[in-house]
Amino acid sequence: MSNIVALVGRPNVGKSTLFNRLTQSKDAIVDPTSGVTRDRHYGKSDWNGKEFSIIDTGGYIIGSDDVFEEEIRKQVQLAIEEADSIVFLVDVNEGLSPMDEDVAKLLRRSKKPVFVVANKSDNAIKSAESAVFYGMGLGKIYPVSSINGSGTGELLDDLVLSFADNNEEEVLDLPKFAVVGRPNVGKSSLVNALIGNERSIVTNVAGTTRDSIYTRYNAFGFDFFLVDTAGLRKKGKVNENIEFYSTLRSVRSIESADVCILMVDATEGIQAQDLNILSLITRNNKGVVILINKWDLVEKGNNTMKTFENQLKERIAPFTDVPIIFTSVISKQRIFKAMETAVEVYQNKSRRIITSQL
């Protein structure tokens, strides 16, 4: 699983420009469907053979009564909490500001590796002026120009060295399935339906606090890992930022999995966030099964299931070959069919990979 890097800083210091340079894109996730929010928070990068994910955040401001800026503050705090390493951008043209100091205090409390980027260091004079930021007490300063890319090589060299060694404990070569989706679509209910009454057949393989947790399920002819992440069920302070929060959690789950089981609430239909999560899955080249939960609550007509499926395929185009399973997790309707399908997707994907290597 790749590491997560958060880009933070006050407004207008060049976070999005650096984000676009590191991800080599103009937009992290782009969905052609009308009405789908483009998620500019998430992108992929790699350096010296180390792959990592980047979370872009809004400008951090303290003391503002603006509701939107309050939401951004919460999102920045969530991104810092989720990240393995943090890139803190400051503007060399404006020098050290009180707002920079506010962000620095937040980062010192995080106990995470912090890389201070003095952005807009477009020449030797500006690079020399970046020394003022040593006053924040966050260690080495990296003079960088996110516009022309100068200084990014040294930054990335040190950044990837901060990543934890992922070769701590080899997990058995079994399929790894992540159950993902919006809040309250039935993810926990599905996991509980599979393992809740079968505690004797569950084996937890846990890494460090921030690693994914693999819960082994081997019954009824199945043998696979369900992927969970540390703190996945923690809700607390994230009520107003639940979409941003669940996106961050989905990043770790998706990257740890071979196949993702995307759960959709049948009573609400496919939502923009469902499509964003599907984009995360396909962007990471993972197999996917769409599970339409709460189907028992939908009023049935002559062609209800077919109509729903056709409408869904229109929304998820061009990914129309994705298996779709209609289920009621509460009554355990078709949940084993869903697992069987996930195994088939895993096997088919594995065969394609092997063939492509011949």
Q: How confident is the model at residue 243 (pLDDT cuts 50, 70, 90)?
A: low
CB 339 within 8 A of CB 222: yes
CA-atom Rg of the chain in angstroms: 22
Q: What are the structural domains of the chain?
A: 3-162 (3.40.50.300), 176-350 (3.40.50.300)
Beta strands in the chain, from DSSP E residues, in sequence order? 3-8, 42-47, 50-56, 85-91, 114-119, 141-144, 176-181, 202-206, 212-217, 224-229, 259-265, 287-293, 324-326
pLDDT confidence of residue 240: 46
Checking if the pLDDT of 49 tops 50, the result is yes
**Mean pLDDT for the stretch of residues 75-98:** 90
pLDDT confidence of residue 222: 79
Mean of per-residue pLDDT scores for the chain? 79
Which secondary structure element, helix H or strand E, spans residue 196, and what is its range? none
**Mean pLDDT for the stretch of residues 36-45:** 55
pLDDT confidence of residue 2: 63
Q: How confident is the model at residue 30 (pLDDT cuts 50, 70, 90)?
A: very low
Q: How confident is the model at residue 127 (pLDDT cuts 50, 70, 90)?
A: very high
Checking if the pLDDT of 356 tops 80, the result is no
What span, in angstroms and rounded, lies between the C-alpha atoms of 351 and 349?
5
Q: What percent of the chain has pLDDT over 90?
A: 31
Residues 274-327: tens digit of each pLDDT = 888 888 898 888 999 999 999 998 887 766 888 888 888 888 888 778 999 999
At 44, is the secondary structure helix, strand, or coil? strand
Checking if the pLDDT of 242 tops 60, the result is no
Checking if the pLDDT of 24 tops 60, the result is yes
Q: Which amino acid is at 303?
A: N
pLDDT confidence of residue 35: 29
What span, in angstroms and rounded, lies between the C-alpha atoms of 195 and 216?
9
Of 269, 229, 264, nearest to 249 (Cα)?
Answer: 229
Beta strands in 120-194, from DSSP E residues, in sequence order? 141-144, 176-181
pLDDT confidence of residue 56: 85
pLDDT confidence of residue 26: 54
pTM of the model: 0.64
**Mean pLDDT for the stretch of residues 191-215:** 54
Checking if the pLDDT of 33 tops 50, the result is no
- Phi and psi at residue 36, in whole multiples of 5°? -90, 125
Residues 98-110: tens digit of each pLDDT = 999 999 999 999 9
pLDDT confidence of residue 144: 93
Checking if the pLDDT of 36 tops 50, the result is no
218, exposed or middle or buried, with CB in 10 Å at 0-12, 13-18, 19+?
middle
The CA angle 217-220-222, to the nearest 5 degrees, is 45
In what order do the strands lie in the sheet containing 224-229? 202-206, 212-217, 224-229, 176-181, 259-265, 287-293, 324-326
Instruction: Give a three-class secondary structure readout of 67-105.
Output: HHHHHHHHHHHHHHHHCCEEEEEEECCCCCCHHHHHHHH
**Mean pLDDT for the stretch of residues 10-33:** 70
Of 108, 52, 57, nearest to 79 (Cα)?
Answer: 57
What span, in angstroms and rounded, lies between the C-alpha atoms of 245 and 237?
10
